[in-house]
Amino acid sequence: MQRRSSAVGFLPRAARPFWALLLLLAPVWVAVDTANRLADRIDPWVRVRTEPLTELLTSWPQPFAEILVGDYGFVTMGPLLLVWATDE
């Protein structure tokens, strides 16, 4: 009985795991890279749009100001996370 040739028969057996991994990860890499490029373009626009609200909320009492517009506040990070969520 003769063995059927497989679609990857032209690849050496040792190279198949490498190519399988490459084919598995290449679409992910392309998607992440494209999203990062998009986020780099949108990030300045988002920062300009949220700046007035951020400046207004910094005058609020300390716990609220920190939660809303601190380094990791909702207003500070929220829009940027939406932009970055499109990339990562």
23 against 80, higher pLDDT: 23
Domain boundaries, the chain: 31-85
The DSSP output letter for 2 is P
What predicted TM-score, i.e. pTM, was given to this entire model? 0.56
Q: What is the pLDDT of residues 33-66, one digit of tens each?
A: 988 888 788 888 888 988 899 899 989 999 999 9
